[in-house]
């Protein structure tokens, strides 16, 4: 199976299955002498772990991470870093009815056809459980970026047709604090309450709903990204579209920009009070010609409704015969609140990789 690695200089390879003994990640290319805050890494994983509230899946996993290599006396050594996260609450019996039938909109059919074998217990390698490994690696990437003053923050900006207004970011930590005050992780309190009530009603119907995560990268220097195939927004798009259930990515003005005229859309350059060149507007989303321009990098990621619903659905079995399937066990009515740290993690992995392409591989002393 190909496609288990991501990045060039800051490169990760994830391993493990949803219902195996553990999942994990190997990080190669992290600079030496980076202080490793294990409490911070664990806190990032805690934001993604299941069982957090009534509007997420009730699978119980502590997602306790262990670092098995690449760190000595609290600092990275420059060698490959291995992180391991044991699985604790698999409940494989919840998937026994899926052995010979294909769940609608899951990877069951494509996986079985491609490989000739599949782990029906939660989807195996195609399960969103794999993203915990990404969050662990992304937390380390965020620590690297923080050492350079680069911050990444995201929140749930829409659920279904409920959209939050644009929220001003005065500081990264203040934005995160506001977001974490509610279980849906929306930085606008009034919208958050509406979202929570809606998701709960969807849950009671045995159904699911999608939404969007808005992400902001602050204090990004000018010059990250390449002008042809390795454009910064292209790598961000690939990173986001690799996340389970993601069906859309847009940066800056996104699709709305196609409805504007050039005279409206152009970001006019000015010289700021600090002497830096900035733009009055940010329709470019902080990236021009595939290269960061020093403005905040802004993008949105759209998540589809979770495919597993607690309702009967028509399907076929592995022989193509008509069958019926119903959801069983734990129900996740909306993945978007738990997707926030995943979006931040994947953005961090992209930024760390591009930052290393423009810096030495050892942090400044």
* 57 annotated ligand binder: no
Question: Using CA atoms, how far apart are residues 24 and 13, in angstroms rounded to an integer?
Answer: 8
Q: What is the pLDDT of residue 358?
A: 86
Q: What is the pLDDT of residue 19?
A: 84
* 244 annotated ligand binder: yes
Residues of the chain with pLDDT under 70: 51-54, 56-60, 89-98, 329, 360-365
* 306 annotated ligand binder: yes
Q: What is the pLDDT of residue 168?
A: 92
* 223 annotated ligand binder: no
* 305 annotated ligand binder: yes
Q: What is the pLDDT of residue 362?
A: 44
* 330 annotated ligand binder: yes
Q: Cα–Cα distances in Å, from 262 out to 231, 267, 349? A: 22, 10, 33
Q: What is the pLDDT of residue 59?
A: 56
* 121 annotated ligand binder: no
* 323 annotated ligand binder: no
E-only strand ranges, 30-164: 66-69, 71-72, 75-76, 81-86, 151-159, 162-163
E-only strand ranges, the chain: 5-6, 11-16, 22-28, 66-69, 71-72, 75-76, 81-86, 151-159, 162-163, 211-218, 246-251, 269-271, 277-279, 287-288, 291-292, 297-303, 312-316, 322-326
What are the φ/ψ torsions at residue 45 (nearest 5 degrees)? -65, -35
State pTM to two decimals. 0.92
Crossing angle for the helix pair 131-146 and 38-48, nearest 10 degrees?
A: 140
CA of residue 55 relative to chain centroid, distance: 18
pLDDT digits (tens, 9 = 90+) for 208-261: 999 999 999 999 999 999 999 999 999 999 999 999 999 999 999 999 999 999
* 245 annotated ligand binder: yes
Q: What is the pLDDT of residue 57?
A: 61
């Amino acid at each position: 199976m190909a496609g288990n690695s991501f990045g060039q200089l800051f490169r990760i390879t994830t391993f493990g299955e949803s219902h195996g003994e553990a999942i994990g990640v190997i990080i190669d290319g992290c600079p030496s002498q980076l202080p490793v805050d294990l409490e911070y890494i664990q806190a990032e994983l805690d934001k993604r772990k299941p069982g957090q509230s009534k509007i997420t899946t009730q699978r119980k996993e502590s997602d306790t991470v262990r670092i098995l290599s690449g760190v000595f006396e609290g600092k990275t050594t420059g060698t490959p870093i291995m992180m391991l996260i044991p699985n604790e609450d698999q409940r494989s019996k919840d998937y026994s009815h899926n052995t010979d039938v294909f769940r609608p909109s899951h990877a069951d059919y494509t996986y079985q056809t491609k490989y000739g074998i599949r782990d029906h217990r939660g989807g195996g390698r195609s399960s969103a459980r794999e993203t915990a490994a990404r969050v662990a690696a992304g937390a380390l990437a965020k620590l690297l970026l923080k050492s350079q003053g680069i911050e990444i923050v995201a929140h749930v900006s829409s659920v279904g047709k409920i959209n939050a207004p644009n929220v001003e970011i005065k500081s990264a930590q203040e934005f995160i604090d506001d977001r974490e005050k509610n279980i849906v992780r929306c930085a606008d309190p009034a919208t958050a309450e509406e979202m929570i009530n809606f998701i709960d009603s969807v849950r009671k119907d045995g159904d699911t709903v999608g939404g969007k995560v808005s992400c902001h990268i602050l204090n990004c220097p000018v010059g990250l990204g390449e002008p042809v195939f390795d454009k910064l927004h292209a790598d961000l798009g690939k990173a986001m579209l690799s996340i389970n259930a993601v069906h859309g990515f847009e940066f800056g003005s996104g699709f709305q920009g196609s409805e504007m005229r050039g005279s409206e859309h152009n970001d006019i350059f000015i010289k700021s009070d600090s002497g830096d060149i900035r733009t009055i507007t940010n329709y470019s989303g902080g990236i021009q010609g595939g290269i960061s321009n020093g403005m905040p990098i802004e993008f949105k990621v759209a998540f589809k409704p979770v495919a597993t619903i607690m309702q009967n659905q028509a399907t076929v079995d592995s022989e193509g015969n008509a069958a019926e399937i119903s959801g069983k066990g734990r129900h996740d009515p909306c993945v978007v609140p738990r997707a926030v740290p995943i979006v931040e993690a994947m953005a961090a992995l992209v930024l760390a990789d591009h930052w290393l392409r423009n810096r030495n591989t050892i942090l400044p002393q």
